[in-house]
Structure 1
């Protein structure tokens, strides 16, 4: 064998033994290795040492029994090293699997942590959104409280989904899940449904007035201005209708009342002008002198104005009879000493219809003017007793018994009798005509030595019993 082969065996043997020693030192120093791994590495180191010794024995040409022993030992050591290598490879493969599994577990753990963080963030966002919605709900309730505004939503089948501030007579519980046909009268339901179907078809907002007729006697028609618009989800799909209903019942009835009031004012104004024209013509015929005409016309004009004030005081409703009489007497009573005459009123509560106030006021004015000019009002000890009572109207041929009002104006007690009880003049003539044609009754004058009595009968159309 050439010399370089021996050198190769020596180098191989030394390197193998050195490697085995290094492996053994590594096993000894790494105490954290598991016992199976330490044993495997120790067997591998022993096998490598045996192989290195065999290589050296070849190089050193050791023969005889020692050579055989070394060969047998080397074979056993090689087998042990092979087994150790297999075990080491198995351990390495198992470690690789464990490491891969650990990495996968770690990856899943990190994913789980991210999911948990995402869940926490999502829960926080949901809680924040729910809190915002509750705040918006609270603000909406506050905004709609004590108002005539209702906000509601209906689904694609026009069933109520939610309702806020339901109108009087309705409740959200009764409306939710139902359609307009189920909760509104037929005419109102038809108008509401037609308007909403048009919004679905066109996709445009719409405002419609809905009127709900009363279901019970004595109730009034209710009016609503309903503005409806389509509602779309976040992805743009149509989800239903969002509507705002404003009840305008009070406004409509105020408008109707204003119209009827204006018509009534216009009618009464025309009546006043007709009365004034009649008074002016008749006064002009009896008092052609302007100096006499103007004071007489002014007195009647003032009487009409006083009756108008009484009506305004009562919001154009029926005033009390006594209030009307006192108002017509007041301008003359304030012009005479309090000790001169006394006025006494007596009778049940009777109210005069607004249409009869001005005519009856003119009659009382003529009686008051007569008492002031030639009657007992300015005479010491004079008394004016004004009484009234309700009687059955015997002249009424209808089956239903009607009431008429009988008023008695009595002047008496003057220490010096008046020169004339009641002038047969324009005032008396006008009072008789008004009582007969405008008040549906008559006026009778009964003279006496110290005054007179005027008995006025008024038909049932002019009185409103309290």
Structure 2
């Protein structure tokens, strides 16, 4: 009996229909098993390789059973499922895991044939790739959740510290917005690299170009262009933000046109691979006294540079303010797998 949703030319036999349908199912990657009402096998097509029995290719295979093809455990589950298939139209399904990587879905339905009565048609579909994608997606979602919580913790810390060192709401909003923008810029680089991190040179460029759109040559970058971890990228970006804001607001950068030198190097210290970032900002001796760099020690910037950033990357920092220059040295452990742009 042809399925009611199937059109068939009058006089066309079911055998002829099967002759065309089976290759189409095989081409889709589905396996097909047909059994009679006693669950005796009548046809097996395109069986997955993991279950191919001896004698399959030579054609010498004896009449198969669920147990001989799929093993006792899967056979018991199939037997239980098929026991419920007593009327045409009834359906059931189960999923079988083979090893640690392969997943197969068994779909069983009862079909009334025009000649021969009730039969069971089982299709087996390989779901391994689909399940692998699902597991990968779940892992990515857990990672996004973890990173989001870390980012929120950083934002909370910035908000608290900014409030502590802001004398007014307007000043708080001004500083807080700038620091959030810094985080968002660094996060963009991390996202673009598929969460691997950000390259040092890109961090410097992104954190400084907003404040020096027409004077980019005032920041010179050299050394090794390391791909830093996401955590190091966020906090190093924050440090760079504070340094460039201080340079523009309190230093003599735009007045003297003396370029700032920023470098990144790899060092071996006490048997450990370390990253060392140096910010070297020359000061004009003719700078206004009201912009004395020492005033910066009373602001949140120094707290970020001397405490927040080094603690977050498990490193050490020196923030030195002299008459002729401002320098910042940050040294922290190099995480395993860190590479450079070559």
Q: TM exceeds 0.5? A: yes
Residue from 353, 357, 364 that aligns with 2:233 = 357
CA distance in 2, matches of 1:286, 1:380: 29
Corresponding residue for residue 430 of structure 1? 304
CA distance in 2, matches of 1:389, 1:130: 75
Partner secondary structure for residue 210 of structure 2: helix
CA distance in 1, matches of 2:336, 2:176: 25
CA distance in 1, matches of 2:69, 2:183: 53
**C-alpha distance 321-246 of structure 1, shift in aligned 2 (>3 A):** farther
Do the aligned residues in 2 keep the contact of 1:410 with 1:453 (CA within 8 Å)?
yes
Correspondences of 1:2-401 after superposition (within 5 Å): 134-141=19-26, 144=28, 149-153=29-33, 161-164=43-46, 176=56, 177=61, 189=71, 192-203=74-85, 205-214=91-100, 221-229=101-109, 234-236=115-117, 242-334=121-213, 336-338=214-216, 341-348=218-225, 350-375=226-251, 377-394=253-270
- Cα deviation, residue 202, structure 1: 2.9
Corresponding residue for residue 405 of structure 1? 275
- Cα deviation, residue 287, structure 1: 1.6
- Cα deviation, residue 182, structure 1: 7.2
Partner secondary structure for residue 30 of structure 2: strand
**C-alpha distance 417-196 of structure 1, shift in aligned 2 (>3 A):** same
CA distance in 1, matches of 2:321, 2:191: 36
Higher strand share: 2
Partner secondary structure for residue 344 of structure 1: strand
**C-alpha distance 222-136 of structure 1, shift in aligned 2 (>3 A):** closer
Larger relative contact order (C-alpha < 8 A, sep ≥ 6)?
A: 2
Higher helix share: 1
CA distance in 1, matches of 2:206, 2:66: 56
Do the aligned residues in 2 keep the contact of 1:439 with 1:462 (CA within 8 Å)?
no
- Cα deviation, residue 299, structure 1: 0.9
CA distance in 1, matches of 2:14, 2:249: 87
Residue 327 of structure 2 is aligned to residue 453 of structure 1: yes
128-137 vs 222-231, which deviates more? 128-137
Cα deviations by residue, 1:337-395 (Å, 9 ceiling, x for unpaired): 356x14223305x222224432222122112222322346424442233222223342x
Do the aligned residues in 2 keep the contact of 1:222 with 1:248 (CA within 8 Å)?
yes
CA distance in 2, matches of 1:384, 1:140: 68
- Cα deviation, residue 445, structure 1: 2.8
Do the aligned residues in 1 keep the contact of 2:256 with 2:284 (CA within 8 Å)?
yes
CA distance in 1, matches of 2:42, 2:238: 62
Q: What's the TM-score, normalizing by structure 1?
A: 0.56
CA distance in 1, matches of 2:41, 2:251: 79
Q: Name stretches of at least 5 consecutive residues in structure 2 with no aligned partner.
A: 1-11
CA distance in 1, matches of 2:332, 2:21: 66
Q: What's the TM-score, normalizing by structure 2?
A: 0.73
CA distance in 1, matches of 2:337, 2:203: 13
Cα deviations by residue, 1:79-129 (Å, 9 ceiling, x for unpaired): xxxxxxxxxxxxxxxxxxxxxxxxxxxxxxxxxxxxxxxxxxxxxxxx988
User: Which has the higher Rg, Structure 1 or Structure 2?
Assistant: 1
**C-alpha distance 158-352 of structure 1, shift in aligned 2 (>3 A):** farther
